[in-house]
Structure 1
Amino acid sequence: MSYAALLYDRLTIDEAELMLTADRRGLLLKKLFTKEPSTLSSTDLAEVHVVVNRCESKSRALEAARRIANLNRIVINSYRVEELCSNKIKTIELLEKYGIKVPKGLFKPFPKNLHELEDWIICVVEEAEARLEYPIVFKPTHGSWGKGIIKIDCRERLIEVLRENSKPNEINPEGIFLQEYVEKPGFDLRIVAFKEKHGMGILCCIARVSRKPEEFRTNTHLGGLPVGVELKDYPEHVDEALKAAEIIMQEEKYGIIALDAMPQIENIDYNIVYKLTNECAKMYDEIRKFVDENKFRRYIEWKNEMELMFQKLKMHESYIALRNVISNLLENSKLRVHEANSRFDYAMNTRNATGINPAEKYVDLCFEALEES
């Protein structure tokens, strides 16, 4: 008998939700915790046919995908997808190559030594100013959760940021990445896409709404408000998202990723977005506080209460009004896909805001893969 397995290096509520869903649907899901995926052996994967790789560390996720494939098991997601999603430069370059609208960007390798630093800074500044206009966004090439992203408004600030980020580190191992600042209508989109035996599909979508114009980052880890979006109501956006997902998962039989996309709308006053968001913020912050206070308790013990809190938020008149405003804004927007995520969080925000549980799709993919064994 063949099994599926869940590989993880940190147990979050996303993995807990997947375990609960697998148990409810009768999927035998072996749990594999690791801090050293390179040591995984055929014994560890005895009778396992497919592995869901949910390692949070990008380096572990990459090594795990490589190791599992070498042991001749199906892995969701594959090494190729993990590598693409872990490197924003490769993602952007590949998407642009195949015609996806992406923000303009500039990547420059680090100077070889400190003696070249000043010349390197001048070179980067001149090239950035030739290609991009202020404000410019500094983005880690291997970052996540909105960490390390800086909005730069002038040459002096750009020089300062370059000087502070001129050496390799974990989130910028090879060089610096500067990107065009795209004026968003107070939110961006996170689109969950999948690939299965019968083709590609869009599972669900949320708008991640920032609370004020000064906070251009919309990541929910930074307080961005999640609002469910019916992407199917916008066929042009669905086509663009599917095309991007196909480019990233083109060689795979099974996969599931989250695309981040910025809607671009011209000559629109969207202050109403911030007004409505702030009217909802207190209720959402109560949910965030509740989740944080319970993170060391068993997820199953407080999951239902969290869901009820989200239901109350979604029934709030300001939240309903915000959802309608976002819907209207999307009708006149163009999407620019700017990132792809292989291991995305979903149990708190995406699942509750949309009413669609990505854990169900993980289980679907496992069942499909097991049918082949």
Structure 2
Amino acid sequence: LNPYMVELVCQSKIKTLATLYQNKVKIPKTVYVPCNVNEMEVGTGTRNYSNLISNLITRNLGAGRVVLKPDAGTHGRQVKLVQNEKELDESLKEVETSIINPAGVLAQEFIPKWFFDLRIIVEKQRGENAYCQPQALARGGFKEFRTNTFLGNMVFRANLPPIVQKEAVRCGEALAGDEVSWVIALDAMPNIGEDVSVDEQEIRKHFMQLDKPFEEVLKVKSDPMKKIDFPSYSMKIEDAYHSYMATEAYSQIQKVIDENLVKKQDSVVFHEGNACPEFWEQTRIVAGVNVADSILNSALSILEGE
């Protein structure tokens, strides 16, 4: 769906972060150790480097909360939050090479994003300037620190301040390089910390009120017949999402998200790019951004320019 070089950069968190850092885009403090925890050495067998890796991570990121993640993971798989040096040592023992973690250890500082993060769509058509969709998908909840929708977290429409849109465009242009046409979904987090705008207990109460309407959404999504009768499924899922979004609890959470994005618009950090976007129904229905249109317009601009 995207040029090869865009796909190549975005499929690796390490390449993505290095590219963003080189282009002065705000990213979480990151440590990448190319050495595996357990290395096979000629004549001596397997050697464990967990202590050395742990010391390197702690020296650069501190002894507090640190996030470990695989280089090519998706849906929050194998992403771990460790609270201290002891947990870091224990978690490193479980890090192994795999198809989603070909080599080494990737660690990042923990960004206190409160209860949500962002998926932002940035696109470019041939002959046009890169453009950031002004509305993004906010993914949130208090289940755990991972807010991936794959893990059952709720979704909200977020209105991006112009400063965040501008930074997202810089991020997309950095990842795309000299390519003339592309569509990239960026993952970003607001660094909110303790500076929250409302009582967290109120937000938690609103999430509890949304449990039932969001369960209806999940019920429709799990329908085994959806691929057989897709038109019917499309109508049902839109109705379910619209009912969920029409609630007062949804409105209150969305308001808090927008308020905090304005308040922390200079503190949004970008950490991942996705160059293989699906025709996300959540992005289309909830955020109001039809990624299929973006992809088709991007492709047509290339054909029309030849």
TM-score, normalized by the shorter chain, greater than 0.5: yes
Does residue 288 (structure 1) correspond to residue 215 (structure 2)? The answer is no
The residue number in structure 2 matching 1:131 is 60
The residue number in structure 1 matching 2:32 is 107
Distance 1:116 1:159, change over 3 A: farther
TM-score normalised according to structure 2 size: 0.90
Partner of residue 317 from structure 1, selected from 207, 228, 248 = 248
Q: Does structure 2 retain, via aligned residues, the 8 Å contact 1:186–1:274? A: no
Q: Deviation per CA, 1:39-80, whole angstroms, max 9, x where unpaired?
A: xxxxxxxxxxxxxx3xxxxxxxxxxxxxxxxxxxxxxx0111
The residue number in structure 2 matching 1:267 is 194
SS at match of 1:159: helix
Q: Which amino acid aligns with 1:189?
A: L
Question: Greater relative contact order: 1 or 2 (C-alpha under 8 angstroms, separation 6 or more)?
Answer: 2
Partner of residue 88 from structure 1, selected from 13, 22, 44 = 13
Note the residue ranges of structure 2 that are not aligned, 5 or more in a row. none
SS at match of 1:364: helix
Q: Does structure 2 retain, via aligned residues, the 8 Å contact 1:276–1:319? A: yes
Q: Which amino acid aligns with 1:102?
A: I
TM-score normalised according to structure 1 size: 0.75
CA distance in 2, matches of 1:89, 1:168: 15
Q: Does structure 2 retain, via aligned residues, the 8 Å contact 1:229–1:354? A: yes
Q: Does structure 2 retain, via aligned residues, the 8 Å contact 1:88–1:142? A: yes
The residue number in structure 2 matching 1:219 is 148
Partner of residue 230 from structure 2, selected from 299, 320, 325 = 299
Partner of residue 287 from structure 2, selected from 333, 339, 354 = 354
Distance 1:140 1:274, change over 3 A: farther
Q: Structure 1 stretch 222-231 or stretch 153-162: which is displaced more?
A: 153-162
Listed as ranges, the matches of 1:128-277 within 5 Å are: 128-133=57-62, 134-165=64-95, 167-197=96-126, 198-203=128-133, 204-212=135-143, 215-231=144-160, 234-269=161-196, 271=200, 272-277=202-207
- Report the Cα offset of residue 297 of structure 1: 2.5
Q: Does structure 2 retain, via aligned residues, the 8 Å contact 1:188–1:209? A: yes
The residue number in structure 2 matching 1:278 is 208
CA RMSD of aligned residues (A): 1.7
Q: Which amino acid aligns with 1:137?
A: V
- Report the Cα offset of residue 116 of structure 1: 5.6
SS at match of 2:24: coil
CA distance in 1, matches of 2:301, 2:122: 17
The residue number in structure 2 matching 1:369 is 302
- Report the Cα offset of residue 346 of structure 1: 4.4
Q: Which amino acid aligns with 2:60?
A: R
CA distance in 2, matches of 1:339, 1:117: 32
Q: Does structure 2 retain, via aligned residues, the 8 Å contact 1:261–1:336? A: yes
CA distance in 2, matches of 1:336, 1:106: 16
CA distance in 2, matches of 1:211, 1:217: 9
Q: Structure 1 stretch 103-112 or stretch 252-261: which is displaced more?
A: 103-112
The residue number in structure 2 matching 1:45 is none
